[in-house]
A and B are shown apart, each in its own frame.
Chain A
């Protein structure tokens, strides 16, 4: 492959993208077709093609083919939107865990902060706090955009407030404290329906306001349907893509700045970083705030997209899911976080669900495997419910077999190899650390 010319490779990629795109359009129900199509992103990233062609291919996949495919099968658009949300979350956590080396097990708390920030003020819920303010609340839909910034600020502030007391503790303690913090936020969301009803408790908040379809007249002139049910999935898809793009740019800039280098120095050796004059606590706080802010923005968008939020969406499992994405892709690596988020989300949303559907179809058809009638399988066996097992296997397998992840960042790879060599040496000499 390496010996062939860039043009040939580019043509190959283009053919693959168009081919799988057509395949998905032709067999919209087929999971393998969709997976092949999604893999085209990876192909574009891995193959050495001219940068301009790479950008064009990504543009074609995300801005043209995906929405077109999505209009014929809205489920795919939903999956792609979810993938985008999780990509942003994984990139945020990647700053905290991957770059700064701080294991945050309560990351979803910041997502919740963002989601509740908009959900409360963008829905009649605010009236339960200030019953007299009927003239102001619920805020009209266009407030969603200012609230994206509010959510970012609130989440970042929460990150700093959490970080201030706990960032001095040892790394593994930090993990447990952040976990506790995540649970605290969830318990608060569950119970702050009294004495003052702020979160509406376990019932959750609905309907959360949506940004207005200000572009509807333009779309109508193009002769496309202006049905909200048709436009909103597309609208949220593009909103997510824009936010993801911003998040990627911000992360990249952070990573290449002195701040990113300071983070990586802290991750690799805290004592040495301090000796080099890196202000430890401010840098860690900045990592927390930066990571949290991405989650805040996505939280606000999540609430608007779903129309409904309740504490169930912000459990510990979500935090670990995002962690699994970061670990799978490779800590500290931006392409890794994107790949990890896509792979895990698709696995959960599609593969497990498909497995459940197939199993149920086989069950009702009375298929038997090796003489065992599948209809005799217990009804409680639902492959779609085994997300935790997926996360667990990913975490264990990656730690044992490939700590640097699938698409590691160069520095992280070096670091892990160094640690391996040091460990091997220690075993040989039997020396103490």
Chain B
């Protein structure tokens, strides 16, 4: 075993794991909050995420075409694309809830799930259609912003691109804001009340429908932000990019305990880290027989193992079991 290699790449593996983990964590929030209030897997959330990635790409590409990409400070640029992506994704998430989920309230559990799968597929091709009409291409590449690719040293002679640090910092910031919002504000309390018991919350004067919309709004915004950050980090996107990160983020939500907001963050980080470690070291450990191409299987195995041995997740689920 080449221990030197293992140890030498370890710090950059950890940074990659953190970046992926934070992206998963932000997407996982959307799944877990919606599951908390509606006991439903919002299958279309991965497309909400991709929409954010496309919005970010479009802003940068349009600015590039106009020659104004250099006019803004790169940090301001990042702030702009993340905020606009949040806005668009949030509005889309709320619209999806109104059109495809709200009419199905009270139906058996699988009915809204099937509708959500439909929305997911519809949105994938809708994005493709829009981009084909508008740009005659639906595989987009984020324009290079040199600042994002500058490398800074983190430990000894190990350096990582600035964008990785930015993704971690930006997601950390948003996760903190979200936690404060859910735990410290009246609206956050109202959302938790609706998740606890819809009928009782309604009797307490909480507008249940509006709180459900708010949940989709917040989940969508986080998903959109994750999309833009994902795009900045990984560069190339297409309308079908969201599927795998979406499933993994859902796995992260289950890993942390579905319905549990801190759980989604922990689950995302754990899964991102495990997956990156597996992808980086699997090939070395098995002598090249199995490599990074199995990292997707790895995440699904984690999901099956949790469901078998600890279905309530690491931090415990916060879901009312309906009978």
Q: Chain A residues in contact with chain B, CB under 8 A? A: 101, 103, 105, 165-166, 169, 171-173, 175-177, 179-181, 183-184, 187-188, 190-191, 194-195, 271, 316-317, 320, 323-324, 327, 377-381, 385-389, 391-397, 399-400, 403, 419, 422-423, 426-427, 430-433
Q: B41: which of A165, A172, A380 is its contact (CB, 8 Å)? A: A172
A165 to B308, Cβ gap below 8 A? yes
29 pairs of residues in contact across A and B, judged by CB atoms under 8 Å:
A101-B110, A165-B308, A169-B311, A172-B40, A172-B113, A175-B41, A176-B247, A176-B254, A177-B304, A180-B251, A180-B299, A180-B303, A181-B300, A181-B304, A183-B300, A187-B296, A194-B289, A316-B243, A320-B117, A324-B118, A378-B136, A386-B129, A391-B118, A395-B118, A395-B121, A396-B122, A419-B108, A423-B106, A430-B202
Could you tell me the distance in whole angstroms from the C-beta of B99 to the nearest C-beta in chain A?
8
B297 to A188, Cβ gap below 8 A? yes
B104 to A190, Cβ gap below 8 A? no
Q: B297: which of A187, A271, A379, A391 is its contact (CB, 8 Å)? A: A187
B307 within 8 A of A: yes
Q: Provided the pairs A171-B110, A172-B41, A175-B41 are in contact, do residues A432 and B115 lie with their beta carbons within 8 angstroms?
A: no
Could you tell me the distance in whole angstroms from the C-beta of B120 to the nearest C-beta in chain A?
7
Q: Chain B residues in contact with chain A, CB under 8 A? A: 39-41, 100, 103-115, 117-126, 128-129, 132-133, 135-138, 197-200, 202-203, 243, 247, 250-251, 254, 289, 293-294, 296-297, 299-301, 303-304, 307-308, 311, 322-323
Q: Which residues of B contact A194 (CB under 8 A)?
A: 289
Could you tell me the distance in whole angstroms from the C-beta of B92 to the nearest C-beta in chain A?
15
Q: Provided the pairs A388-B121, A388-B122, A399-B104 are in contact, do residues A323 and B304 lie with their beta carbons within 8 angstroms?
A: no
The complex places the Cα of A385 from the Cα of B106 at a distance, in Å, of 35
Could you tell me the distance in whole angstroms from the C-beta of B12 to the nearest C-beta in chain A?
25
B322 to A433, Cβ gap below 8 A? yes
The complex places the Cα of A327 from the Cα of B118 at a distance, in Å, of 11
Q: Which residues of A contact B132 (CB under 8 A)?
A: 378, 380-381
- Choose among B40, B110, B250, B299 the residue with the greatest number of A CB atoms under 10 Å from its CB: B110
Could you tell me the distance in whole angstroms from the C-beta of B65 to the nearest C-beta in chain A?
17
A187 to B114, Cβ gap below 8 A? no
Could you tell me the distance in whole angstroms from the C-beta of A271 to the nearest C-beta in chain B?
7
A179 to B118, Cβ gap below 8 A? no
A392 to B121, Cβ gap below 8 A? yes
Could you tell me the distance in whole angstroms from the C-beta of B283 to the nearest C-beta in chain A?
11
B304 to A432, Cβ gap below 8 A? no
The complex places the Cα of A380 from the Cα of B130 at a distance, in Å, of 11
Could you tell me the distance in whole angstroms from the C-beta of B103 to the nearest C-beta in chain A?
5
The complex places the Cα of A375 from the Cα of B138 at a distance, in Å, of 20
Q: Which residues of A contact B297 (CB under 8 A)?
A: 183-184, 187-188
Question: Nearest chain-B residue to A423 (Cβ)?
Answer: B106
Q: Which residues of B contact A171 (CB under 8 A)?
A: 109-110
The complex places the Cα of A275 from the Cα of B161 at a distance, in Å, of 60
Could you tell me the distance in whole angstroms from the C-beta of A37 to the nearest C-beta in chain B?
29
Q: Which residues of A contact B124 (CB under 8 A)?
A: 388-389, 392
Could you tell me the distance in whole angstroms from the C-beta of A139 to the nearest C-beta in chain B?
28
The complex places the Cα of A395 from the Cα of B117 at a distance, in Å, of 8
The complex places the Cα of A169 from the Cα of B303 at a distance, in Å, of 12
Q: Which residues of A contact B203 (CB under 8 A)?
A: 430
Main SS at interface, chain A: helix
The complex places the Cα of A389 from the Cα of B119 at a distance, in Å, of 9
Main SS at interface, chain B: helix
The complex places the Cα of A141 from the Cα of B297 at a distance, in Å, of 35
Could you tell me the distance in whole angstroms from the C-beta of A421 to the nearest C-beta in chain B?
10
Q: Provided the pairs A389-B125, A399-B111 are in contact, do residues A173 and B308 lie with their beta carbons within 8 angstroms?
A: no
Could you tell me the distance in whole angstroms from the C-beta of A274 to the nearest C-beta in chain B?
13
Could you tell me the distance in whole angstroms from the C-beta of B97 to the nearest C-beta in chain A?
13
Could you tell me the distance in whole angstroms from the C-beta of B264 to the nearest C-beta in chain A?
15
Q: Which residues of B contact A181 (CB under 8 A)?
A: 300, 304
B111 to A403, Cβ gap below 8 A? yes
Question: Nearest chain-A residue to B291 (Cβ)?
Answer: A191
A380 to B137, Cβ gap below 8 A? yes
Q: Which residues of B contact A388 (CB under 8 A)?
A: 121-122, 124-125
A190 to B304, Cβ gap below 8 A? no
A419 to B294, Cβ gap below 8 A? no
Question: Nearest chain-A residue to B132 (Cβ)?
Answer: A380
Q: Which residues of A contact B106 (CB under 8 A)?
A: 419, 422-423, 426-427, 433
- Choose among A105, A400, A426, A433 the residue with the greatest number of B CB atoms under 10 Å from its CB: A400
The complex places the Cα of A37 from the Cα of B168 at a distance, in Å, of 60
Could you tell me the distance in whole angstroms from the C-beta of A105 to the nearest C-beta in chain B?
7
B307 to A169, Cβ gap below 8 A? yes
The complex places the Cα of A175 from the Cα of B202 at a distance, in Å, of 31
A395 to B114, Cβ gap below 8 A? yes
Q: Which residues of A contact B129 (CB under 8 A)?
A: 381, 386, 389
Question: Nearest chain-B residue to A106 (Cβ)?
Answer: B300
Q: Which residues of B contact A426 (CB under 8 A)?
A: 106
A379 to B136, Cβ gap below 8 A? yes
If A176-B254, A378-B135, A431-B199 are given as contacts, then 14 extra A-B residue pairs at C-beta distance below 8 Å, sorted by A number, are: A103-B113, A173-B307, A176-B303, A180-B247, A180-B251, A271-B323, A380-B137, A389-B122, A391-B118, A392-B122, A396-B119, A399-B100, A399-B114, A400-B100
The complex places the Cα of A392 from the Cα of B129 at a distance, in Å, of 14
Q: Which residues of A contact B322 (CB under 8 A)?
A: 433
The complex places the Cα of A431 from the Cα of B322 at a distance, in Å, of 13
Q: Provided the pairs A166-B304, A195-B289, A380-B137 are in contact, do residues A396 and B113 lie with their beta carbons within 8 angstroms?
A: no
The complex places the Cα of A181 from the Cα of B136 at a distance, in Å, of 35
Q: Which residues of B contact A391 (CB under 8 A)?
A: 118, 121
Which 9 interchain pairs have the tightest Cβ spacing? A395-B118, A392-B122, A423-B106, A180-B300, A392-B121, A389-B125, A432-B199, A378-B136, A396-B118
Could you tell me the distance in whole angstroms from the C-beta of A403 to the nearest C-beta in chain B?
6
B118 to A191, Cβ gap below 8 A? no
The complex places the Cα of A262 from the Cα of B234 at a distance, in Å, of 50
The complex places the Cα of A430 from the Cα of B204 at a distance, in Å, of 12
A396 to B41, Cβ gap below 8 A? no
Q: Which residues of A contact B118 (CB under 8 A)?
A: 324, 391-397, 399
Q: Which residues of A contact B107 (CB under 8 A)?
A: 403, 419, 423
A191 to B199, Cβ gap below 8 A? no
Q: A166: which of B41, B117, B296, B307 is its contact (CB, 8 Å)? A: B307
Could you tell me the distance in whole angstroms from the C-beta of A117 to the nearest C-beta in chain B?
20
The complex places the Cα of A403 from the Cα of B198 at a distance, in Å, of 25
Question: Nearest chain-A residue to B311 (Cβ)?
Answer: A169
